[in-house]
């Protein structure tokens, strides 16, 4: 399954919106030259949310490969 914005939209609007907002917050912090600790925290949050969207998409498609509990 392609990892595209269109494909991620299948994960659901609220989750996708949250991930995109986190990516924008990270980029805004980078652009403003915020402290490295803040940039790293925002990067980790954005990465986690993006991966959550991808995992949900793969789970929905039945290709995640492991049970979620």
Q: What percent of the chain lies above the pLDDT cut of 70?
A: 74
What's the confidence (pLDDT) of residue 6? Answer: 65
pLDDT in tens, 7-35: 656 556 788 889 999 999 999 999 999 99
- pTM of the full structure: 0.71
Q: Are 38 and 26 in contact (CB under 8 A)?
A: no
Give yes or no for residue 1 having a pLDDT over 50: no
Give yes or no for residue 57 having a pLDDT over 50: yes
What's the confidence (pLDDT) of residue 46? Answer: 97
28 CB burial (10 A radius; 0-12, 13-18, 19+): exposed
The per-residue DSSP string of 20-45 comes to: HHHHHHHHHHHHHT--HHHHHHHHHH
Torsions phi, psi for 66 (to 5 deg): -145, 150
């Amino acid at each position: 399954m392609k990892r595209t914005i269109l494909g991620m939209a299948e994960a659901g609007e609220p989750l996708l919106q949250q991930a995109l907002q986190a990516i924008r917050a990270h980029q805004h912090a980078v652009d403003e030259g915020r402290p490295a600790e803040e940039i790293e925290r925002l990067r980790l949050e954005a990465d986690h949310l993006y991966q959550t969207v991808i995992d949900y998409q793969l789970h929905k498609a039945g290709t995640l490969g492991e049970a979620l509990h």
